[in-house]
A and B are shown apart, each in its own frame.
Chain A
Amino acid sequence: MESKGAVLTGEHFISGNEACAEGALAAGCRFFAGYPITPSTEVAEHMAERLPEVGGTFIQMEDELASMNAILGAAWAGAKTMSATSGPGFSLMMENLGLGIMTETPCVLVNIQRGGPSTGLPTLVGQGDMMQARWGSHGPYEIIALSPSSPQEIFDLTIKAFNLSEQFRIPVLIMSDEVVGHMTEKVIIPPADDIKLTPRRTPKVSPEKYLPYDPDEDLVPAMALAGQGYKMHVTGLTHDRKGYPVITEEAQIELVQRLIDKIRKNRDKIIEYHEDQCEGADVIVCSYGISARTSLLPIQLAREEGLKVGLFKPIVVWPFPEERIGQLAAGVKAFVVPEINYGQISLEVERCAHGKAEVIQVPHAGGGIHDPAKVLEAIRRAAK
């Protein structure tokens, strides 16, 4: 068999899930642990086929608790690592997503969202995990989550997810959905040299001088790897700069404040969104993932009716682009927020609009995408 490279430069006609796996490989991911679950399984299947070709390791674990832990362990051994899951599996991963956040372990976790709650709609779309992505693990923390609307975007954003996870030493979530995961479209994979990758931040001092949780100026500490002689201690307990557990209020404040600040104070380096005709708009449709895409037709129809409608699409959903929403709120009558849940990101838009603009939800229980007529109707209402 001919070995393929890690970066399949060229034009491909592939599904979102395959594009996600190819994005991971192009980003240097060489370890994948996962558990089969619809509708994300094709990511694992593609990694099972492709990782051995590039000298990486695939393992199917016994459940999602194990998968999440395995990618954390592999990250400490030096690999760029990923797992992919959906609804129920995402719930199971919440436990050790927290461990990844607390121990500042870079890795990427993909959620191909399906309808819930519970087993819900294994084969059909949902966007009901957006707040779980933000708050699903216990305790206070900040997270980074990206939301792709197409196979090309999931390819690009998977690379971005790896880069952000290395830059900020944090698990990064890709909050995709069943429709994007199963949609087959053209994906252009650039030449390897055009793909910018963020290397791991490794210690510049000797093991004797190394403090595993002593942050650099941007609040992110350098990460030693197992087997390098640093003999570091890594714990999910509240710890000091040495990495040792310290069960006090002071230690908690010092550590957790930094974990929060390393994302909040670096927001400008993380946040990304796409705007179309938001300046001067009366109504802005704020939507993400597949719903941003299904909003395009109603926006076009509304514009044909003479309404001034913009599209605001957060590409990075967490941290939420609150400053920009606040600025835009001052100039519009209302935001329309179609999403396949009963109001998650719309609540965030409402919070950031500070009462300056109305926020109209266009909820959907899941199982399908929005009827364009419903979104159009909401835009018309908003424009009044």
Chain B
Amino acid sequence: MIERHPMDQLLREDRIPHIWCSGCGLGTSLTAFMSALQDTGISLDNVSVVSGIGCTGRVAGYVKLDSFHTTHGRPIPFAVGLHLANPSLKVVVFSGDGDLIAIGGNHFIHSARRNLDMTIICVNNFNYGMTGGQGGPTTPIGAKTSTTPYGNFEFPFNIPHLAAASGATYVARWTALDARRLRKSIHEALMKRGFSVVEIISPCPTLFGRFNRQGTGLDILNSYREQTVIQHGADPAKVGIEPGGKIIVGKFVDIERPTFLDVVNQGLKGKFGPPVEKPRAEELAIPSVDE
């Protein structure tokens, strides 16, 4: 008898092999997410995964869940619609740094500000992989990419700081090397009420790695071993990634804050009696905002 891998029920087997390069950190990131999701025991029927565009954006195409592959930068607002129209769904946005922090940066900060109850998994590989390795919002200063041939002249975003300052209730960062802690952290993020963010520092050997002479995917993972420092509770303002500097990982934020729907329900409490009319059959069964 062939043993089925416990992950099989979570993958669209008819879409495998995936398009990712060998040595890419995305496979590990996806595995960590799927294991974490299984650990939570959340009913898989209730989970929606939303991705944008890019190498990470392909995640939505591989998971055997309700999965939405939206336009570039827009997975968060799409997820907002899913969440608010049916608050019983567990909504996860799984996308890359370019997608979520550059073109989608506005959606990221405003959804964190509102504290919408959803989990954001942001894979940060410091460049745009899908389009050939261009510089992006997280590219470290001085780094080479296809659009920064003389080195990057821009200061990058520090994603945990951005998330924390915008109002996220859970913020953590791990590298693709530390699959065990990453899995645990995603588990926590999935169970957290509010806007939870997990940043995954991930190798892109094909492009960013090659431009910056980082070696193979394995070499990059090994370099994380030396560069990474675990500092739970570190001030998110101080975890920016400097060229050649340490990569500070850990859980930086884990706070309680009313979610958008908490505030909505509180604000509307007692304001309206039961609806005058019963909904008619043609009207769809729309879940109310009471979770």
Contacts and interface: CB of A to CB of B under 8 A. Distances in A.
Contacts of A62: 77, 106-107, 110
A34 to B, nearest CB: 12
B50 interface: yes
Contacts of B284: 28, 30, 78-80, 199-200
Given A192-B280, A197-B283, A73 B272 contact: no
A79 B84 CA distance: 10
Interface stretch (A12-20, A234-242, A302-310): A234-242
Contact of B276 (A4, A56, A99): A4
Interface in A219-255: 225-237, 242, 244-245
A61 B273 CA distance: 27
B183 interface: no
A31 B85 contact: yes
A152 interface: no
A6 B280 CA distance: 11
A59 interface: yes
Contacts of B264: 57
Given A198-B282, A227-B66, A244-B15, A6 B84 contact: no
Contacts of B84: 31, 57, 59, 70, 74, 77
A192 to B, nearest CB: 6
B78 A192 contact: no
- Taking residues whose C-beta sits less than 8 angstroms from the other chain, chain B's interface range is 35 or more
A206 interface: no
A11 interface: no
Contacts of A57: 84-85, 264, 289
Contact of A2 (B85, B273, B281): B273
Contact of A226 (B86, B107, B283): B86
B48 A70 contact: no
B286 A55 contact: yes
Nearest to A98: B71
A227 B46 contact: yes
Interface stretch (B57-65, B156-164, B170-178): B57-65
Given A66-B80, A70-B77, A233-B69, A227 B275 contact: no
Interface in B261-291: 264, 268, 271-277, 279-289
Of the listed residues B76, B82, B271, the one surrounded by the most CB atoms of chain A closer than 10 A to its CB is: B82
A329 B273 CA distance: 57
A26 to B, nearest CB: 10
B88 interface: yes
A66 B60 CA distance: 19
Contacts of B77: 33, 61-62, 65-70, 73
A45 interface: no
Contacts of A55: 275, 286, 288-289
A160 B78 CA distance: 25
Nearest to B107: A66
Contacts of B79: 73
Nearest to B290: A55
Interface residues of A, number: 65
A245 B275 contact: no
Interface string A108-119: 000000000000
A53 interface: yes
Given A3-B274, A79-B286, A96 B74 contact: yes
B66 A231 contact: yes
B277 A244 contact: no
Given A56-B286, A236-B69, A69 B272 contact: no
Interface in B41-77: 44-46, 48, 50, 60-61, 64-71, 73-74, 76-77
B81 interface: yes
B273 A3 contact: yes
A98 B44 CA distance: 29
B270 to A, nearest CB: 9
B61 A99 contact: no
B128 to A, nearest CB: 17
B283 to A, nearest CB: 4
Contacts of A98: 71
Nearest to B261: A57
B33 to A, nearest CB: 16
Contacts of B268: 52
Interface in A182-226: 192-193, 196-200, 225-226
B12 interface: yes
A227 B82 CA distance: 10
A235 to B, nearest CB: 4
A69 B70 CA distance: 9
Nearest to B69: A235
B67 A234 contact: yes
B283 A81 contact: no
Contacts of B45: 227-229, 231
Contacts of A3: 272-276
B82 A77 contact: yes
A90 B193 CA distance: 34
A73 B80 contact: yes
Contacts of A30: 85, 283-284, 286
A72 B68 CA distance: 11
Contacts of A68: 77
B89 interface: yes
4 nearest A-B pairs in the assembled complex, by CB-CB distance: A73-B81, A74-B81, A77-B85, A74-B85
24 contacts: A2-B273, A3-B275, A6-B283, A30-B286, A33-B80, A52-B268, A52-B272, A54-B275, A55-B286, A56-B286, A59-B80, A65-B74, A68-B77, A69-B77, A70-B81, A74-B81, A74-B82, A79-B85, A80-B286, A81-B85, A200-B284, A227-B86, A228-B45, A233-B69
